[in-house]
Amino acid sequence: MSTSDTQPHPRRVLSSGFTLAVIVGGIIGLGILRTPGEVATVVPDPLMFVSLWVFGGLFILLSTGVVAELVGMTPRSGGTYALVRRAYGPFPGFVIGWVDWLTFVADIAFKAVVVTEFAAMLIPAARLWQTPLAIMASSVFAALQLRGIALGAKIQQVAASALALIVVGFTVALVFAESAVSSGTALVPHAAHGLSAWSLVVASIIYTYDGWYYAAYFSGEIKGGSGAVARACIKGTVIVILLYVFLVTALAWKVPLASLAGKELALASALEMVVSPLASKVVLAVAIVMLLAHQNLLYMSTPRILQALAIDGLAVSRAGEISKGGNPIFAVLLSWGFSVFLIMIGGFHFLLHLLMFFVLFITVVLIAGVIILRSRQPDADRPYRAWGHPWSTYTCLFGCILLSLFEAVAQIDTAAYAAIFVAISWPVYRVIVRSGSNYKIKNPKG
């Protein structure tokens, strides 16, 4: 039995504005406020520092241009699993969906943990309650989904516009501020070296640019169809790359990077040095708003992975049921429950590296999916075709595999945790297959 590329779902109610908001708002977040400090620990030279962000952005843009072909071919919601299910069999398809779901749930936990870290910087007494507060922050946005998709979509569009304006505002503030001058060697620590240090740089930059295919999680609900979603992925990614490159250039130009090395909120420290001591409080407040906006987007996206799996018979059938408000409520609850578990066991660096293993795995799977479907279905309708295929596609694939191997060698302990989480997919899959309450598994190659 084969499946079509459509799925039972409410009509297309999300606008093109929402599509761009998902991409821009999905990428802009904690990363650009915090990770410049992680990168500066290893790379205090301004030219090399900015170059890393430029090359990272170009690699992500090339990857987006390749994966957009899959987005254009897939007029259904569900993200990575929906994009590549035709290229892989039932069990590999389930593993891909499982890992993608884990990625999003880990991101929910990661951002909930960090929002409470930042809250504790503003209100020190909150430090004693960080884990309960993280669970509360996550729970509030899970509960918002019970109201339906319309409310979440409105929040996302407002948040994305605000986030873009905030990045522009910070850039302008740095450009017109007086340059900070290092006041001695105490501000210039030795740059970190070694595999572990560089793995953190790689993870930081990739994480900061992650989110460029978020709109694919809503493709079946967006007006204009999947071709419009594919083009929006490119536009949104270009916008954010330009915003980021201008911001890190202003940062490197105005502030000694060594003075930002290891800072938990590097942009706050920079603005405090060149604008006002009060600027750090403003950035902290902005960081909290960014993280809360991401909780909204993540709780809109994550359940749709389980929903797509359930529709194809690869998850419990209740995960595919949609409420009157347009959200798969049972899938929301499952995602919330596992995020609470990760909040209780993980910290910043553990969750960051865990995310990177999952993100790189998903990117490899997506790019390989383009190659497989070009071979198996050369005549399929492709509203958007990968830039410079096959050279661009193989370049991205080779680059992602190298980055994955590098991260695995540098972070062997976290790689082991990632492998365990992936391995759990097999018994879960077997239970689902044997479950009499589930739909018959459909052939994802149809």
Are 74 and 213 in contact by the 8 Å Cβ rule? The answer is no
d(CA 248, CA 109): 27
Question: How far apart are the C-alpha atoms of 400 and 408, rounded to whole Å?
Answer: 12
State whether residue 12 is helix, strand or coil: coil
How far is the C-alpha of 380 from the C-alpha of 366, rounded, in Å? Answer: 17
Specify whether the CB–CB gap between 166 and 160 falls below 8 A: no
CB atoms < 10 A from the CB of 438, how many? Answer: 19
What band does 163 get if pLDDT is binned at 50, 70 and 90? Answer: confident
Report, as an integer, the average pLDDT of 98-107. Answer: 87
| ω into 390 cis (within 30 of 0) | yes
- Mean pLDDT over 396-401 rounds to 90
Mean predicted confidence (pLDDT) in 396-420:
85
Q: Write out pLDDT tens, residues 2-52.
A: 344 444 444 566 777 888 888 988 888 777 887 888 888 888 889 999 999
Structure confidence by residue, pLDDT tens digits, 254-300: 888 888 887 877 888 888 888 888 887 888 888 888 888 888 889 99
Specify the residue for token string 């299910």.
Answer: 85
Give the mean pLDDT of 374-388: 88
99 to 27, 32, 64, 130, 353: CA distances (angstroms): 20, 25, 20, 27, 14
Q: What percent of the chain has pLDDT over 90?
A: 18
Predicted confidence (pLDDT) at residue 160 exceeds the cutoff of 60:
yes
Report, as an integer, the average pLDDT of 128-132.
Answer: 84
Collapsing DSSP to helix, strand or coil, 265 comes out as: coil
Residue 54 pLDDT grade (very low, low, confident, very high; cuts 50, 70, 90): very high
Please give the single-letter amino acid code of residue 69: E
Q: Closest by alpha carbon to 306, among 325, 341, 326, 333?
A: 333
What is the predicted pLDDT for the residue at 13?
A: 67
Task: Name the average pLDDT for the chain.
Answer: 83
Say how far residue 373 (Cα) sits from the centre of its chain: 25
pLDDT one-digit tens code per residue, 199-251:
778 878 888 888 888 888 888 888 888 888 898 899 999 999 999 999 999 99
pLDDT of residue 374: 92
Q: Are 366 and 64 in contact (CB under 8 A)?
A: no
CB atoms within 10 A of CB 433: 14
Which residues does 341 contact at the CB level (< 8 Å), separation at least 6? none
Q: Residue written as tokens 């090359």?
A: 55
Helix, strand, or coil here: 11? coil
Spatial distance between the Cα atoms of 261 and 192, rounded to a whole number of angstroms: 9
Rg of the Cα trace of the chain? 21
Q: What is the model's pLDDT at position 183? A: 45
**Residues near 305 by beta carbon (within 8 Å), at least 6 away in sequence:** 78, 79, 80, 81, 97, 100, 101, 104, 217, 331
Contact 372, 394 (CB under 8 A): no
Three-class DSSP category at 346: coil
Taking alpha carbons only, the member of 341, 364, 331 closest to residue 421 is 341
Report yes or no: 44 and 257 within 8 Å, Cβ to Cβ: yes
Query: CB–CB of 381/73 below 8 Å?
Result: yes
Query: Is residue 438 pLDDT above 50, yes or no?
Result: no
Mean pLDDT (whole number) for 178-196:
58
Confidence bin at 182 (pLDDT 50/70/90): low
Q: Which residues contact 369 (CB under 8 A, 6 or more apart)?
A: 70, 83, 84, 87, 88
| Whether pLDDT at 93 is above 90 | no
Give the Cα separation of 260 and 258 in Å (integer). Answer: 5
- Residues 324-331: what's their mean pLDDT? 87
Q: In whole angstroms, what is the distance from residue 136 CA to residue 115 CA?
A: 11
The conformational region for residue 389 under phi > 0 = left, psi -120 to 50 = alpha, else beta, is beta
In order of 39, 236, 263, 314, 345, the CA distances from 331 in angstroms are 36, 28, 37, 13, 22
pLDDT of 12: 64
Gap between the Cα atoms of 43 and 317, Å rounded: 49
Q: How far apart are CA 67 and CA 212, in angstroms?
A: 10
